Structure 1
Amino acid sequence: MLKNIRIVLVETSHSGNIGSAARAMKTMGLSQLYLVSPKYLPDEQSIALAAGADDVVRNAVIVPSFEQAIADCSLVIGTSARLRHLQSSLIEPRQCGKLAIEAVKCGQKIAIIFGRERVGLTNEELLKCRYHLTIPANPDYSSLNLAMAVQLICYELRTAFLQTTPVSVIDNSVMSPQHLATAQELEYFFAHTERLYQSLGFIHNQGVMSKLRRLYQRAEIEKNELNILRGMLSAVEKRLISVDNNS
């Protein structure tokens, strides 16, 4: 089941951090590592610091964009230390573990995203995550390196995996994977929404779209619901074209 949980590292600056993160993952039973545009590809230092988890490093999936790393996932959780504007979607490591394991037991694919060592994830990337994960460290000294953060989250994932009883797929709080819209499908919908709303003059700044993203992310939209929403957008577009042609 843990194979359906991927750890995604975005634009890592040091190859050694890839190996250290892989070691942290393997000790907790995780193996799916995705690398988004790493500054340096896995090398001898990565293998050395992996300390026996070199199989995780060698099998890492390297992709050029954040979107490709999460495209087929139904649950995307982004980590960040600066989340004051995202309180409604904020979770801590223990809750993250429980949410992820409940989802994975229903067959969903989950991505947990760790940002750049110095600056973390961008606001745009955070908006593409359903939940936002923060580690409640000492406010006077909250410095965690990348591998430490990965280790802590992977520990909570394993703890939840060992303790959580099977979740029924009938449970309304967790949809089956074939029913939930994927990150890529949601991105198509958001692009469609923004394009139409701009043409209607409804969106004048990115703040509106950011709020709409958070709203739809919280809703855990199913594929058939998303099809209805996109059908509504298309119907409005056709109506606009008809009105223009008759003018």
Structure 2
Amino acid sequence: MKTRFILIQTSHAGNVGAVARAMKVMGFDDLVLVAPRWADVLSRPEAVERASGATGVLEKARVVATLDDALDGVDTLCATAMTPRDFGPPTATPREHLPLLPQRSQGVAFLFGSERYGMRNEDVYRCHVALTIPTAPDYGSLNLAAAVQLIAYEWRQALGGFGVAPSASQPEAADAQALAGMLEHWEQALVDIGFLDPAAPKKLMPRLNRLFNRAQPTPEEIHILRGVAKAMQQVAAKAKP
């Protein structure tokens, strides 16, 4: 689905670069700037540096004079606003509203206002919904690129999301025979170093048995543990008079 991010009267070139990066990691590349502070904002060093590898988004981006010039090919406009506007569109969170859009729209534009003032009322009035990101009640100020990242993520999830690479397969645990042999080795080593009194063993070995059953050591780990037991026995043997 056509997806466009529109920045209105952006004043900081670094934010434009950071927005490009936020878009690219979510698979979006249609960026339009409406009347930014700097006409050459897309090529300014701060923008290129903050894009951090997403310069392709900057190279493809457009700078236009008015919001009307940025709306070609989209039929659904989503404002971003912290507070509802009188006579404005309904307010919703991205998570509750965005999953509804793929069935209703052919092209979506997300609009973001200037860093200092946010969106103008007249621009919000043109939109079909005002998206608000739930934040702490006493501090709701989000950096422009952070807001774009959150919206881009929620929209990507609404479109089906990206797959997650499976983790490496978990190694198989050692069998019960290997575990029992290691515990016998440890029991003897603990006796040799004087930690375990065979005449009054109490519950030490059952507790160790439960611990290693819970840990499910691999054959390689069993080998390490037996090496530790062997080293304890060697030290104990050297210490004998």
**TM interval, short-chain normalised:** 0.5 to 0.7
- Which ranges in structure 1 are unaligned for 5 or more consecutive residues? 164-247
Written as runs of structure 1 = structure 2, the 5 A alignment for 1:104-183 is 108-162=106-160
SS at match of 2:79: strand
> How well do the aligned residues superpose, as a CA RMSD in angstroms?
1.9
| 1:75 aligned residue | 76
Query: Size of the alignment, in residue pairs?
Result: 159
- Which ranges in structure 2 are unaligned for 5 or more consecutive residues? 162-241
SS at match of 1:57: helix
Amino acid at match of 2:27: G
The separation in 1 between residues aligned to 2:50 and 2:143, in whole angstroms, is 14
SS at match of 1:113: strand
Sort the Cα spacing of 1:141 and 1:57 in 2 relative to 1 into closer, same or farther, 3 A: same
| 1:34 aligned residue | 32
The separation in 1 between residues aligned to 2:111 and 2:3, in whole angstroms, is 11
Of Structure 1 and Structure 2, the greater helix share is in: 1
Residue number among 7, 17, 30 corresponding to 2:15 in the alignment: 17
The separation in 1 between residues aligned to 2:28 and 2:101, in whole angstroms, is 13
Identity level (%)? 40
Contact kept? 1:21, 1:50, Cα under 8 Å? yes
Amino acid at match of 2:5: I
Shift of 1:45: 1.3
TM-score after normalising by structure 1: 0.61
The separation in 2 between residues aligned to 1:15 and 1:147, in whole angstroms, is 11
The separation in 1 between residues aligned to 2:148 and 2:63, in whole angstroms, is 18
User: Which structure has the larger Rg?
Assistant: 2
SS at match of 2:160: helix
CA deviation string 1:26-71 (max 9, x = no partner): 1111111011011022212111100110000111011100121124
Amino acid at match of 2:114: R
| 1:64 aligned residue | 65
